[in-house]
Amino acid sequence: MTEDQVIKIHNDVDKLRKCLSTNNILIGYNNYSYDDIILAGLLTGKDPYELSKKIIRGEKVHATLEYLTLDAMQEINSVSLKEIQANMGLNIHETPIDFDIDRPLTTEEVEQVFQYCENDVKTTKKVFELREDYFTSKFEIVDAFKLPVTAVKKTRANLAAAVLKTKPKKLPRDRLHLEFDQHLKVNELPRELIAFYENIRRRYMQGEDHEALEKEKLEIEIAGIKHSFGFGGVHGAIENYRYTGKMMQIDVSSYFPSLMINNHFISRNAESPELFKNIYQKRLALKQENDRKHEIYKIILNSAFGAMKSEHNPLFDPKQFNNVTINGQLILTHLILLLEPFAQLIQSNTDGIIIAYEDGMKDMILEVIRRFGEHYNLTLEVDEITKIAQRDVNNYVVQYADGTIKAKGRMAKFQGGDWERNSLHIIDKALVNFYMYGIPIQKTVIESWKNNQLDLFQLVAKAGKFDGMAHEVDRKMVKLQKVNRIFATNILNYGGVYKVRDYKYYKVPNTSEHSFVWNDELSKMNKKLIDINYYIKLVQSNLF
C-alpha cells in the first residue's frame, strides 16, 4: 500500500521488483522476523514456501533485503495484528481459506486472500501512524548522533549502545560483587537490609549461582509498612487504603541515570562513558528550554540502563545494572526513614514514594527533601495529591491538586483501552469513577452502555499456547478462531468460551457462564445482547 493506492501482486516477481524502490521505506508488522526474509528470498529466486517453513521451525535463514524496512511490531509486547484489530473494534474474521490447500486457489479464493491481506496492511498502516513518535524518535537519534541511516532498524537499547561507542569486552565473573553508593549512610539503614545484600555478595563469591540469588527477596517492615526488597526493585504499600487529605508524591528525577553518573555505574563496555554524562547534561539543558528534543536524550539514557541487563546487547554489564537497582532501593529507604517522624508513608515504588502529612509539617518535609537531594546529588520532584484509593502497590488511583487523575494496574485504562490492550476496561472506568467522584458502579456501567462505548465491555482472548478455542452453543462445542472478542449475555443457549488443550476445556478467565462471540465490526453489534448485570457484579467483585 502506498499513500494513494493498493498494489496487488500474485505470483509475479517482476511486478514485485518494479513496485519496489530504494527511495521508499517498507513498513510491515513482524517483518524483521518473517516478511523481510520472504521478500529477499522471492527477489533472489528462492522458494518462499520452503523459506516460510524454515522460519516457522525456528531455523536460521540467511536472506538480506536491500531495502530499508521498519517493523511496526518492534519493541511492543508481542501483540498480533488480529488482537490489535480486535482492540480497535474492527472486523477480525480470519480468512476461510485453509493455508494447507494442496491445489491452486480458485479466482474467488484468491480474491478472499487478497481481502484478508489488504485488511492486515491497512491495520499495519494504522499501527505505524499510532506509533509514529516512536519511529520519529529513532530517526532523530540517528540524525543527532550521526549514525548510519540503517541504524534506525535497531531497538532503542541497541541505538544507545551505538551512541555510546560500545566495544564488548570479556568482563570478569563479578555480576553480584555489589558496591554501595559512595554517599550511602549505611549505619542509618536497617542492619537486616544491608546484611541481605552483603550476604548475597558473599554467597556469590563462594560460587553460588547468580540466577537463584537474584530471585531472592527480603520482606521487612519500614515505616510501619511491609516492604519487599529484591533485584526487581522495592515495593511497599498500605493495602486496601483510601484517603482524602494532604499528600505528596516524591519522585527522583532521572533516578537511574543519575546513580550511573554519580557512581560510575555506566557499562564497562562503553568506550566513552563521559559521553553518557554529556548526554545527561544536554538533556537537562534542553528540558529547561522546553525543547521537546530532550526526549531523544532521555530515551538514550534510560535505554543505556536497561541494556546493561540484556545479554544480547553490546552494553551488557549485569554488575553495573545490579549496582544501580540495589542502590536505588537503599537510597529511597533512607529517604523514607528520614521522613518517618514528619509523615505517614502510603507507598514506596522503585523511584518514588507517596506520603500523607498534617498541617504545619510541609516546610519541614520539604527541607528534609532538599537536604537529602543535596547529600545524594539527586533532583527530587514533589507533586501534591488530594485523594488516593489503593488496593496494593500495583493497583491504585490518585487525584493531584490540579484535578488530574493518574492510575495504575486494574484502574490504569479508566479512559478506555487502546490498540495494544482493550479488555474489560469498564472495570477501570467504574472503579475510578466510584473512588474519585463517588459515582455508583451501576451508573457508570449503564451510562457507558447507553453511550455505545461497547469496547469497554469486550474481552479479547487468544488461544496463545493452547491448541485452540471453543464456544458452547446449544450444549455443543463449536470451534472458534485463534483470537476472539467475548461479551457476557442473557441468551441462555449460549454457554461459556473455552481454551482447548489435549481435548480438555479451560474457561477463559473473567468471562460469563453465558457468553457470545462477536468478531465482526463492533459498530454492527446489537448491544441488547449484552448482560449489563454481569458487568456490574464483575466491577463490584474488584472493590476493596
Ordered domains of the chain (ranges, CATH): 13-130 (no CATH), 186-255+324-411 (3.90.1600), 425-540 (no CATH)
Query: Looking at residue 259, what is its pLDDT?
Result: 97
pLDDT of 125 > 90? The answer is yes
For residue range 403-433, what is the model confidence (pLDDT) as tens digits? 999 999 999 999 999 999 999 999 999 999 9
pLDDT digits over 22-61, tens only?
888 999 999 999 999 999 999 999 999 999 999 999 998 8
Find all residues with CB under 8 Å of 337, minimum gap 6, and list them: 188, 189, 222, 223
Indicate if the pLDDT at residue 308 is higher than 90.
Answer: yes
- Number of other CB atoms surrounding residue 36 within 10 Å: 20
In three-state secondary structure terms, 533 is helix
- Amino acid 167: pLDDT: 87
pLDDT of residue 77: 80
Q: What is the pLDDT of residue 178?
A: 97
Task: Give tens-digit pLDDT for 184-195.
Answer: 999 999 999 999
Q: How many residues make up the chain in this entry?
A: 544
> What is the pLDDT confidence band of residue 436, given thresholds at 50, 70 and 90?
very high
Give the residue carrying C-alpha cell 496487488.
Answer: 8
Give residue 350's pLDDT: 85
The confidence score (pLDDT) of residue 536 equals: 98
pLDDT at 120: 93
Residue 21's pLDDT is 86
What is the value of pTM for the model shown?
0.91
Q: What is the pLDDT of residue 99?
A: 79
Residue 288 near residue 394 (C-beta atoms within 8 A)? no
Q: Tell me what pLDDT residue 3 has.
A: 86
> What confidence tier does 273 reach under pLDDT thresholds 50, 70, 90?
confident
Q: What does the H/E/C string look like for 94-130? A: CCCCCCCCCCCCCHHHHHHHHHHHHHHHHHHHHHHHH
Q: Please give the pLDDT value at position 168.
A: 82
Over range 485-494, report the average pLDDT: 97
Percent of the chain with pLDDT over 70: 100
Helix (H, G, I), strand (E, B) or coil at 88: coil
Look at the block and give the residue holding cell 473473567.
510
Position 487 pLDDT exceeds 90: yes
Provide the pLDDT for residue 298. Answer: 93
The alpha carbons of the chain give a radius of gyration, in whole angstroms, of 27
Q: Which three cell numbers stand for residue 497?
A: 468460551
Average pLDDT over residues 445-460: 98
The pLDDT value recorded for residue 50 is 92
Instruction: Kindly give, in sequence order, each residue whose CB lies less than 8 Å from that of residue 440, ignoring residues fewer than 6 positions away.
Output: 434
pLDDT score, position 100: 82
DSSP-assigned states of every residue in 155-192: -HHHHHHHHTTB------S-TT-----TT--GGGS-HH
Q: What is the pLDDT of residues 325-334, one digit of tens each?
A: 999 999 999 9
Which residue stretches of 58-106 are H helix? 81-87
Task: Kindly state the average pLDDT of the residues 110-129.
Answer: 94
pLDDT at 97: 87
- Summarize pLDDT for 284-301 with one digit per residue, the tens: 999 889 988 899 999 999
- What is the reported pLDDT for 80? 92
Give the Cβ contact number of residue 125 at 10 Å. Answer: 15
Q: DSSP 3-state assignment of 377?
A: coil
CA 173 to mean position of chain CA atoms: 31
Predicted confidence at residue 498, as pLDDT, reads 98
Distance CA 136, CA 122 (A): 20
Nearest to 377 by CA among 453, 263, 485: 263
Quote the mean pLDDT of the chain.
95
pLDDT, tens digit (0-9, with 9 covering 90-100), for 73-99: 999 988 999 999 999 999 999 888 887
Residue 411 and residue 348: Cα distance in Å, rounded?
A: 18
- For residue 78, the model assigns a pLDDT of 82
User: Contacts from 114-117 at CB under 8 Å and sequence distance 24+?
Assistant: 114/8, 114/10
